Structure 1
Amino acid sequence: MLESTGAAVREPLRVVVMVSGGGTNLQAIIDGVKDGTITNTQIVGVISNNKNAYALKRAEENGISSRCVSPKDFETRGDFNVKLLETVDGYEPDLVVLAGFLVVIPPEMIEKYENRMINIHPSLIPSFCGKGYYGLKVHEAALERGVKVVGATVHFVDEGTDTGPIILQKAVEVQQGDTPEILQRRVMEQAEWKILPRAIDLIANGKVRVDDHKTMIMP
């Protein structure tokens, strides 16, 4: 029998991960939960808009419930939005993680999960972000501009594109001879796969507060 210490006991954070492709960031979260980098957290579901997404295979291999909700299967975007929100709600998540989910999030879902939905973006916001900046396009733009430092950002999701309160950022150096593909991989390895698990762990342990559209990381 556990003795009471007077401290509040936190229930594990229920996380749903939404992803469209291979799911490397999903894998980083799965690994983080397994190795204890992410504490007090349970991945309760994975949702993809792409039935062929390897992320769904990763979920299956790790015993995580998964669903595919594709706009292609609905007559209208409105019908899809209703089903997507219904599917998310069905997992009763405390936190929704967008880990490369290339579908516009319904406004109703953004409102319902305010400060409970986060996104990983492969740049140091506010650089190379917003409409049209996703995937390799971000790294192509960075190399074309000739910047010397890139990186990744984890932020809360609001009604804008990449405009929500920033939680964590990590810089990565650009190297001579980089291609968009090489740079993308380095940003993933050195930034994305580190700060996304870290952000989830901070949230799971009650250490992130949003105040006036800015985040405070508590000690």
Structure 2
Amino acid sequence: MPHNPTSLNIAVFASGAGSNFHSILNYFKDHCNVRVVTLVSNNSKCGAVQIAIDNGISFFHYSKYAFSGKCSNIALKLIEYLKHKDVSMIVLAGYMKLLEPEVIRNYSNRIVNVHPALLPAFGGKGMYGDIVQKAVIDSGVKISGVTVHLVNENYDEGQIIFQKHFAVEYSDTIETLSQKVKAIEHKYYPKVIEQIALGNIHKIDDRIFLKNKIE
């Protein structure tokens, strides 16, 4: 599809296998208004990088090792790169690194993350992947789910935008909960990203709501 000069450009940040990155790429592949223009990763050998290569998406290796002896502040190099790519929104999809304050300030209220539980429960530093699902099981809660939220300078403390829940059954394991989470993330995260990118949100005091119901 020809490039729409008025389209909004997204950068996806990922550190792992890249299943969410892949679902986001597929969703926006032929989108008229939103484009994924680059992948940023601190792990040059992760699955997400191979997905980017396979789909002709540019990759930025965001690691101090990539700039060893060349730059004292790699955050500024990242910001420079994102501006060069005309990025308007950052999407975290399994990104395992806290963003620097400079990046957050430059993209204030334009960075979103997906968390594999219903925040504010089971969030914070070190809470990711199977660690979250083990905590869910150990707690005995009967409901869990997925949260999409804005990103600030603290782990998982940004404003909540969207949540989707599911029942935690007595037979659930870390593996089955992870499967439930992935299914929801792959189905709903791209749709939430789309609504945010298109400005279809309400801001009421310190709360954010999507204008359109997502099915």
Q: Tell me the TM-score normalized by structure 2.
A: 0.88
Aligned partners of 2:162 and 2:210 also within 8 Å = no
* C-alpha distance in 2 between matches for 1:78 and 1:157: 25
Matched positions, count: 208
Aligned partners of 1:17 and 1:96 also within 8 Å = yes
Superposition pairs for residues 45-124 of structure 1, below 5 Å? 45-74=38-67, 79-124=73-118
Aligned partners of 2:112 and 2:149 also within 8 Å = yes
Q: Structure 1: any 5+ residue segments left out of the alignment? A: 1-8
Instruction: Give the secondary structure class of the aligned counterpart of 2:97.
Output: coil
Q: Structure 2: any 5+ residue segments left out of the alignment? A: none
1:71-109 residue CA offsets vs partner (Å, 9 max, x unmatched): 334569963333333333332211100111111100011
Aligned partners of 2:39 and 2:59 also within 8 Å = yes
1:18-44 residue CA offsets vs partner (Å, 9 max, x unmatched): 00011111111112113x6x6621101
What amino acid does structure 2 have at the position aligned with 1:107? P
Instruction: Give the secondary structure class of the aligned counterpart of 2:118.
Output: coil
CA 1:188–1:89 in structure 2 vs 1: closer, same or farther (change >3 Å)? same
Instruction: Give the secondary structure class of the aligned counterpart of 2:144.
Output: strand
1:32 pairs with 2:14: no
Aligned partners of 2:98 and 2:155 also within 8 Å = no
Aligned partners of 2:162 and 2:209 also within 8 Å = no
Deviation at 1:113, TM superposition (A): 0.5
Instruction: Give the secondary structure class of the aligned counterpart of 2:90.
Output: strand
What amino acid does structure 2 have at the position aligned with 1:102? M
Root-mean-square deviation over aligned CA pairs: 2.3
* C-alpha distance in 2 between matches for 1:154 and 1:10: 28
- Residue 4 of structure 1 aligns with which residue? none
1:137 pairs with 2:131: yes
1:146-204 residue CA offsets vs partner (Å, 9 max, x unmatched): 11111111111112221111111100222233221221121111x21122111111023
Deviates more, 1:43-52 or 1:170-179: 170-179
- Residue 11 of structure 1 aligns with which residue? 6
CA 1:96–1:177 in structure 2 vs 1: closer, same or farther (change >3 Å)? same
What amino acid does structure 2 have at the position aligned with 1:218? K
Instruction: Give the secondary structure class of the aligned counterpart of 2:23.
Output: helix
What amino acid does structure 2 have at the position aligned with 1:87? Y
Q: Tell me the TM-score normalized by structure 1.
A: 0.86
Aligned partners of 2:17 and 2:48 also within 8 Å = yes
Instruction: Give the secondary structure class of the aligned counterpart of 1:128.
Output: coil
* C-alpha distance in 2 between matches for 1:195 and 1:71: 33
